[in-house]
């Protein structure tokens, strides 16, 4: 389990997190959402041990990630949005990298490269950005780490590749693996992520599963705007109105509308979900 407890973090003139607490259970694909600059990438770096909290703790299976013990780092793989590709070919890179990960599966690596239509014998420097990213995704999944951290993984992918990404992540998720996807492109992962975490400046506004969201909120798709709704958003054919759900009615979550609802009703949402 990943556990963040009473964590503070910031830079010289900017507070990023103040006394936040979160847990990430195994077997889930978490969606990490938030506006630019709220700390999504910083949170992934804290989890992977690349940054250290100024107060509180960030632990991986009970061990502080910033200790950077080999036994802990073997459990984590992080693909940053602004990744730097290694020199040479993906084959050479994975052969060197795989020695440090006890569950590395070479056969799976080649299968994933074939499935994603990339040539692992081709040099990274000769590939497009999207091809580079697909090779890194194949690398990450073939290492079979317990925790996989993906920062804007669909940036640079074309539409067929985004569909393939969703299929592959779902196929290779399991009860022993935690996947955290930080993204602005919620449409790319809408049917993939659950639970949802929404960050704001220095705090967590929402952490909830789809089941918990639909217990508290009702997404009403209609031709008429509801002035009593917490938030209404125009869409093809009418509106989606997000309302409180005291009667426990079933509805389908629209993640973009959910995000906007949370950002327009911060205290209301915190009160509603923290009861």
215-234 pLDDT, tens digit each = 999 999 999 999 999 999 99
Please name the residue that has the structure tokens 């052969």. Answer: 95
Phi-psi region of 214 (alpha: psi -120 to 50; beta: other; left: phi over 0): alpha
User: 101 falls in which pLDDT band (50, 70, 90)?
Assistant: very high
Q: Which fold has domain 2-206?
A: Rossmann fold (3.40.50)
Is the pLDDT at 183 greater than 80? The verdict is yes
- In the prediction, which pLDDT does 111 show? 96
* CA dist., res. 25 & res. 23, Å (int): 6
Is the pLDDT at 182 greater than 90? The verdict is yes
Residues 158-181 have a mean pLDDT of 93
The predicted-structure confidence for 52-70, as pLDDT tens digits, reads as follows 999 999 999 999 999 999 9
Tokens of 163: 């569909």
- In the prediction, which pLDDT does 12 show? 83
- In the prediction, which pLDDT does 110 show? 97
> pTM here?
0.94
- In the prediction, which pLDDT does 37 show? 85
- In the prediction, which pLDDT does 82 show? 84
Nearest to 106 by CA among 118, 90, 128, 124: 90
User: 83 falls in which pLDDT band (50, 70, 90)?
Assistant: confident
Instruction: Break the chain into its structural domains and give their ranges.
Output: 2-206, 209-273
More confident residue, 124 or 37: 124
pLDDT mean across residues, the chain = 94
Is the pLDDT at 275 greater than 90? The verdict is no
């Amino acid at each position: 389990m990943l556990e963040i407890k009473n964590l503070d973090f910031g830079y010289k003139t900017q507070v990023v997190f103040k006394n936040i607490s979160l847990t990430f259970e195994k077997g889930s694909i978490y969606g990490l959402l938030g506006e630019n600059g709220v700390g999504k990438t910083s949170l992934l770096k804290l989890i992977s041990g690349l940054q250290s909290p100024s107060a509180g703790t960030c632990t991986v299976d009970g061990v502080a990630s910033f200790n950077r013990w080999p036994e802990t780092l073997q459990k984590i793989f992080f693909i940053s949005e602004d990744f730097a590709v290694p020199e040479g070919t993906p084959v050479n890179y994975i052969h060197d990298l795989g020695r440090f990960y006890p569950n590395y599966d070479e056969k799976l690596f080649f299968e994933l490269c074939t499935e994603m239509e990339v040539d692992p014998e081709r040099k990274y420097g000769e590939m497009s950005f999207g091809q580079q990213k697909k090779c890194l995704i194949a690398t990450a999944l073939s290492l079979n780490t317990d925790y996989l951290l993906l920062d804007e993984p669909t940036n640079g992918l074309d539409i067929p590749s985004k569909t393939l990404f969703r299929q592959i992540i779902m196929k290779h998720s399991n009860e022993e693996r935690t996947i955290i996807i930080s993204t602005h492109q919620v449409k790319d992962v809408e049917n993939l992520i659950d639970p949802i975490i929404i960050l704001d400046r220095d705090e967590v506004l929402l952490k909830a599963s789809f089941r918990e969201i639909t217990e508290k909120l009702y997404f009403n798709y209609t031709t008429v705007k509801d002035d009593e709704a917490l938030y209404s958003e125009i869409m093809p054919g009418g509106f989606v109105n997000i309302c409180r759900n005291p009667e426990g009615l079933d509805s389908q979550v629209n993640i973009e509308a959910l995000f906007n609802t949370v950002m327009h009703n911060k205290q209301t949402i915190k009160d509603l979900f923290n009861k």
